């Protein structure tokens, strides 16, 4: 990426796709007749829950790691994350035979800690504040000279995430609308750049929990409004937009719709029951918008980026029972 870029170009997203062919899964696009009938449209689910490490995050993380020069990569990579990005970066680094230093809050769920360890990440725990995470990461950079890979505020991350929808529109080339969840905005901004570069008549819509609605408020205001005390089951969507993701979402995303906690859980149950597929709460937010009539999609062809499938198995039973 050049120094003064304001967003990745489509050619850079294509480069990320070509670079990732040897390491990134081309995930399936699935349909479900019973859900189509419920919403009176044709839905095409791009299933990133079947991606390596269980989420789309591997696309961006691997693009960053394999874009580093040998000199840059020598000292390894570092990030602060307690979720899918931590696991994705750990595996990407292992595949390139370099260390991945992962800063995680002391409150991180054990299942996520073990996943990062299983992928080879070297974990440093810190207090559960953004300040502590950033300071701990900087200390590692100072000591190890590791290369910082931000979870979403990085153009190579955005380009990598855009490859998911690139595969989708190659396979289903006459979509009317494409939906993606939004937290920090890496997936949604990469989706928007890809889609609008190819067919700007296709609507790109972000879907966000009502209880973590900073992207909705930021787009409406025209400037970043940080998330304050978000409280949602969709734990992958708790972060605020970044300085690199926000301008793309402001300029290229057609709308952002909000989804309640009940609607998210209803969508998860629907996917479990009708598609026999495990998805995490963040991945259910777009379908939650559809089944609650937040969007007019009758007789349209709709693509949905299913962002991931990493959920603690203890939580699945509680969601299914919570009717």
The answer to whether the beta carbons of residues 52 and 20 sit under 8 Å apart is no
Say how far residue 102 (Cα) sits from the centre of its chain.
18
**Please, which residues bridge with residue 102 across strands?**
79, 123
Report the alpha-carbon distance of residue 255 to residue 211 in Å, rounded. 18
Q: Which positions ≥6 away from 110 have C-beta within 8 Å?
A: none
DSSP state of 203: E
User: Which entry of 82, 90, 92, 218 is annotated as an active-site residue?
Assistant: 82
Catalytic residue among 57, 196, 244, 294: 57
**Residues forming beta bridges with residue 12, ordered by sequence position:** none
Residue 82 annotated among the catalytic residues of the structure: yes
Cβ neighbours, 10 Å, residue 269 = 17
Whole-angstrom distance, CA of residue 141 vs CA of residue 114: 23
Q: What is the largest CA-CA distance in the chain?
A: 57
**301 a catalytic residue:** no
Euclidean distance between CA atoms 154 and 88, whole angstroms: 15
For residue 308, what is the DSSP state?
B
Write the burial class of residue 171 (CB in 10 Å: 0-12 exposed, 13-18 middle, 19+ buried): middle
Question: What is the layout of strands, in order, in the sheet containing 147-148?
Answer: 122-126, 100-105, 77-80, 147-148
**Distance (Å, rounded) from C-alpha 111 to C-alpha 94?**
20
Active site residues: 57, 82
């Amino acid at each position: 990426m050049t120094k003064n870029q304001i967003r990745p170009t489509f050619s850079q997203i294509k480069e990320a796709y070509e670079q990732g062919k040897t390491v990134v899964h081309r995930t399936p696009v699935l349909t479900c007749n019973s859900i189509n009938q419920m919403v009176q449209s044709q839905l095409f689910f791009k299933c990133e829950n079947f991606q390596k490490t269980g989420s789309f995050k591997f696309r961006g993380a691997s693009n960053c790691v394999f874009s580093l020069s040998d000199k840059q990569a020598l000292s390894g990579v570092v990030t602060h994350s307690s979720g899918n990005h931590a696991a994705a970066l750990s595996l990407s680094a292992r595949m390139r035979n370099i260390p991945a230093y992962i800063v995680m809050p002391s409150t991180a769920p054990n299942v996520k800690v073990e996943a990062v360890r299983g992928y080879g990440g070297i974990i440093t725990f810190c207090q559960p504040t953004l300040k502590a995470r950033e300071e701990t990461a900087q200390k590692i950079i100072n000591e190890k000279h590791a290369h910082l890979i931000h979870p979403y505020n990085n153009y190579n991350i955005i380009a990598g995430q855009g490859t998911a929808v690139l595969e989708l529109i190659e396979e289903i080339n006459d979509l009317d609308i494409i939906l993606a969840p939004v937290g920090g905005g890496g997936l949604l901004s990469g989706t928007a750049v890809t889609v609008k570069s190819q067919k700007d008549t296709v609507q790109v819509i972000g879907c966000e929990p009502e209880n973590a609605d900073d992207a909705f408020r930021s787009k409406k205001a025209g400037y970043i409004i940080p998330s304050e005390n978000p409280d949602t089951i969709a734990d992958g969507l708790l972060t605020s937009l970044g300085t690199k993701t926000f301008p793309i979402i402001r300029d290229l995303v057609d709308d952002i719709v909000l989804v309640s906690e009940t609607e998210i859980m209803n969508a998860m149950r629907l996917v479990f029951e009708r598609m026999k597929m495990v998805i995490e709460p963040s991945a259910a937010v777009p379908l939650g918008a559809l089944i609650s009539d937040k969007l007019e999609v009758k007789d349209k062809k709709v693509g949905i980026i299913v962002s991931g499938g990493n959920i603690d198995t203890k939580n699945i039973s509680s969601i299914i029972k919570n009717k």
